[in-house]
Amino acid sequence: MELKCVVAVVRPEVVEVLERKLGAIHIHGVTVTRVRGFGAHPNYFADDWTTEHVKIEIFAQAENVDALVKTIMDIAHVGGIGDGVVAVIPVEKFFRVRNQAEAGP
């Protein structure tokens, strides 16, 4: 079973809607972290160039990744600066700490 890690940095208001949609595409685990940063268009006129976003990390089976990325993109897209980014990263190994064994998601 091939695993991928999907990492998305999106606006905070996206999280609640996204969480509701994940079950429909058979994704049953997500890590959400509040982050600050800036991308290609920082606000140079502000005292703090960074903005608040959330980072979402999801381990998924490779065959579910396209649907997952499409779902994130559809929900996060408003067509403006700061919509976010999505990356898909290969997972070399995946272990469950509970039983200290290599496993799938």
SS (H, E, C) 40-94: CCCCCCCCCCCEEEEEEEEEEEHHHHHHHHHHHHHHHCCCCCCCEEEEEEECCCC
List pLDDT tens digits, range 49-69.
888 999 999 999 999 999 999
CA 36 to CA 89: how far, in whole Å? 21
List pLDDT tens digits, range 5-16.
999 999 999 999
Length of the chain: 105
The pTM assigned to this predicted structure is 0.87
Domains and CATH numbers, the chain: 1-55+62-78 (3.30.70.120)
- Residue 104 has what DSSP assignment? -
